[in-house]
Amino acid sequence: MSISVNPLKFPANALEPFISAKTIGFHYGKHLQNYVNTANTLIKDSDLDKLSLIELVKQSSGAVFNNAAQAYNHQFYFDGLTPVKTEVPAALKDKIDQDFGSFDNFKNEFITKATGNFGSGWTWLVVDHASGKLAVKNTSNAGNPITDGDRILLTVDVWEHAYYLDYQNLRKSYVEKFLDHVDWNFVNSNLNA
């Protein structure tokens, strides 16, 4: 069994001007596909070939983890995006208000942590495994908080390949606009999964 990822839910140009079709073409079409292909090459004819993508993320290490987790993280990132503005469902809004104090507090913390995530990595909204509360966490490289037992709700890719063609060094602008293109129904479904 080889791993694969879902097709994009929207046309490549649907997020413009937030993200250009050119960036989507490279990011989804080249970077993500390369992680999928490399992971499949690495697991071929091994016991790991029997695992699902999420099990690979939880159980593998080294180069297999790096490529499988990058495939999984990208799938999760693209699934969290929408060209059509969505409202935050009431139950999710209440949980965010409760755990961050306000929705603005959450947004500010997300933007600050994503902007300050040093080097290449991902910034996540999670349910922390220890406290049961929502939290914003950074991971580096291919890291994913599910390996610590957290429940993941949303992620933004802050590798430069995600934004450099459109924003160059202005990562903060990319992250701010990201929050205007989140599929909050996807986030809510992960809270309730």
Residues 159-178 that bind Fe ion (CB under 5 A): 159, 162
Nearer to Fe ion (CB atom), residue 1 or residue 170: 170
Site string for Fe ion, 100-139 (x = CB under 5 A): ----------------------------------------
List CB contacts of 104: < 8 A, sequence separation 6 or more.
none
State which residue, 24 or 162, has the beta carbon closest to Fe ion. Answer: 162
What residue is closest to Fe ion based on CB?
A: 157
Burial (Cβ within 10 Å: 0-12, 13-18, ≥19) of residue 156: buried
The pattern of x and - marking residues 133 through 162 that bind Fe ion according to CB under 5 A reads ------------------------x-x--x
How far apart CA 165 and CA 91 sit, in angstroms, is 36
CB contact burial 127-145 (16+ within 10 A = b; e otherwise) = bbeeeeebbbbbbeebbbb
**Smallest distance, Fe ion to C-beta of residue 186, A:** 18
Comparison of 65 and 159: residue with beta carbon closer to Fe ion: 159
Sheet of strand 121-127, all strands in order from the earlier edge strand to the far edge: 134-140, 121-127, 151-157
Q: Which residues lie near Fe ion (CB under 5 A)?
A: 157, 159, 162
